[in-house]
Amino acid sequence: MLLALLFAYGVLNGILQGFGIMPYLGLTTPTLEYYTEALTRSDLISSILFSLYVAAASSVLATMGGVTLSAVITRLRVGRTGRLASVQIPIMTAHTVVALSVISLFSGSGLLARVLNSIGVIGSQADFPTVVGSSQGWAIILVYLWKEIPFVAFSTFAIMGSISDRFSEAASSLGASPLRTFFAVTVPLSSPAIAKSFLIVFAFAFGSYEVPLLLGSTLPRALPVLAYIEYSSPELLDRAHAMALNGIMSFITLILAWLYLRIIQRERRGR
């Protein structure tokens, strides 16, 4: 509870700074100036769109992949070592480490480019398509997929396992194919867990800073990167700009969270 308060205080403090209230700089009058400046900057819309696009692509693909992986693990009755290798090791690996391996695989001088060069598909490093630092965010999405597919599988595995134990026999004795059973029984029953992990992945991919900083393009920049650049500027007043960007960022995620809660509640009532 105390930590929740602390968290709220941190966020609130940030929001207040966005309105220009920074007692340590002698500023106490609230102003909308920083928000107006943040909202009217030319690169804001493209940053928001870029972050939303990366988050949406990562979370949709990761959820589909994670649910599939979870189903495959359940069905194949993968043993401990298999689960360790397929789910636990990726969860243990830091995002930044994955980013490094994406660089060493997919950059212009990366392993894939070398392989393509040796079989004569491309002639030089410049022929290799831009993956790292591309304005399409390929490399960022790759990192999130590698990390979050196992995470989704981890979050849905337990519930899907118990559902398939209980219901799949009933469904198949009633003549349903395994695929049909999966989509008609297992997925709907585990949808709260799936929805929750989807939201977590989306919010994480939208708001985290490390991966887009390492792998992103300079134009457009991801929203958190934009905020950090303002925050770390030697001009202390720029912090207010950063906080205004943070405020916008939180606002977007809070709307999404509200939508999510609405969906969950409707589902509960529906049962």
Site for another protein in 86-105 (CB under 8 A): 86-105
Q: How far is the CB of 127 from another protein (least distance, A)?
A: 11
Verify binding: residue 80, another protein, rule CB under 8 A. Answer: yes
d(CA 63, CA 152): 6
CA distances, 170 to each of 124, 167, 203 (Å): 58, 5, 37
Q: How many residues bind another protein (CB under 8 A)?
A: 87
Tell me whether residue 173 or residue 268 sits nearer to another protein (CB atom).
268
Q: How far is the CB of 29 from another protein (least distance, A)?
A: 18
Sole binder of another protein in the list 83, 136, 167, 238 (CB under 8 A): 83
Q: How far is the CB of 58 from another protein (least distance, A)?
A: 14
Verify binding: residue 13, another protein, rule CB under 8 A. Answer: yes
Q: Which of residues 50-69 bind another protein (CB under 8 A)?
A: 68-69
Verify binding: residue 183, another protein, rule CB under 8 A. Answer: no
Verify binding: residue 111, another protein, rule CB under 8 A. Answer: yes
- Show the binding pattern over residues 229-268: x = contacts another protein (CB under 8 A), - = does not: --x-------x--xx--x--xx--xx-xx---x-------
Helices 191-207 & 223-231 angle (0-180, nearest 10):
40
Sole binder of another protein in the list 164, 224, 240, 244 (CB under 8 A): 224
> Phi-psi region for residue 72, left (φ > 0), alpha (ψ -120 to 50) or beta?
alpha
Sole binder of another protein in the list 45, 49, 115, 219 (CB under 8 A): 115
In this structure, is the dihedral angle defined by the CA atoms of residues 83, 141, 242 and 259, taken in order, positive or negative? negative
Q: How far is the CB of 234 from another protein (least distance, A)?
A: 15
d(CA 264, CA 271): 11
Sole binder of another protein in the list 57, 63, 228, 240 (CB under 8 A): 228
3-state secondary structure of 22: strand
d(CA 65, CA 89): 17
d(CA 8, CA 170): 47
d(CA 17, CA 22): 6
